[in-house]
Amino acid sequence: MRARIWAAIIVSSIGWGTAGIATRAALQEGVGPFTIIGLRMLIAATALFAYLAARRHPLPTRRLWLLGAVIGLTNLTAPYILFTLAVQHASAGFLSLIITNIPLATAVWAHFLLPEESLSPRKAVGLLLAASGVALLLATGTSGLGDAGRAGPSAAMALSGVVIAAFGGVHARRHAPNHDILDLAGPQFALAAAVLIPTMLATEGLPTAVSAAGWGLVVYMAFTGTFMPFLLFFWMLQRVSATTASLPSYLIPVIAVAGGALLLGEEVTWLMAGAGALILAGVVFTERAEPGPPAAGPGPEVAL
């Protein structure tokens, strides 16, 4: 069983960690950002409902649809839009380091919205470490794309997505503590697809000009970067602690940075590595302070 758990951790980390790389590659293929997100969510939602039907999982109740819609909007739809727009101006590794701050933003929201989860001194240290890492990225203008990158606008969009996703996670913990992730998954992905497909059609039209490579990347993102790691995360939650199930959170940025450099030629500087180390140290401090139940979101964190 231990080997199977580690296999699930590694495979889900690779899926989430390479999703951002596939997103940048799809953008380079000329696929529009809303086409990428819309098709990704539509395919993932279809696969998820097919899986639930095969397992004869009960259909969501009206209450679950309402909860899933709100959580899906804040914890999935809005962040994915912002992250995909942001990766147009920075490397997948850069974006992954910013997204890694979701657990820290969650700790701040929880301090104000969940009375039982106050901001402890240990969490405050974690926040300061991560904030210093983000500040280092912004101060040096390191985007991972050299002169073609725009670290400031990219970070602004990504950090906005981080704040919204963190709020969605806390909202889920506050209003849906007794529902497992699988109960709310269908409504979340369905809501995301229902919002993003019309947005795609209105802004970019039908995806008739998408190349075979572009379609392959979108399908990869939907299955390998969304559907599969989500199911593995749910499978792990049934067998191990939430802390163990969240281990992909620490591997995702490493995979994104290394994979972006190897596959897309993205820059990895010592400053970026130092900033990443500070951010990851902050996340470790914060998450190890007071382990709690996972939010009813799509995974250990919203991954690009």
Give the residue with greater pLDDT, 1 vs 228. 228
Alpha-carbon torsion angle 37, 137, 276, 288, nearest 10:
-90
pLDDT digits (tens, 9 = 90+) for 217-232: 999 999 999 999 888 8
Closest C-alpha among 286, 3, 297, 276 to residue 142: 276
pLDDT at 161: 93
Say whether pLDDT at 80 is over 80.
yes
Percent of the chain with pLDDT over 70: 90
Q: Note the pLDDT tens digit of each residue in 284-294.
A: 777 666 555 55
- pLDDT score for 176: 64
- Point out the least confidently predicted range of 16-30, 97-111, 167-181: 167-181
Residue 291 contacts residue 122 (beta carbons within 8 Å): no
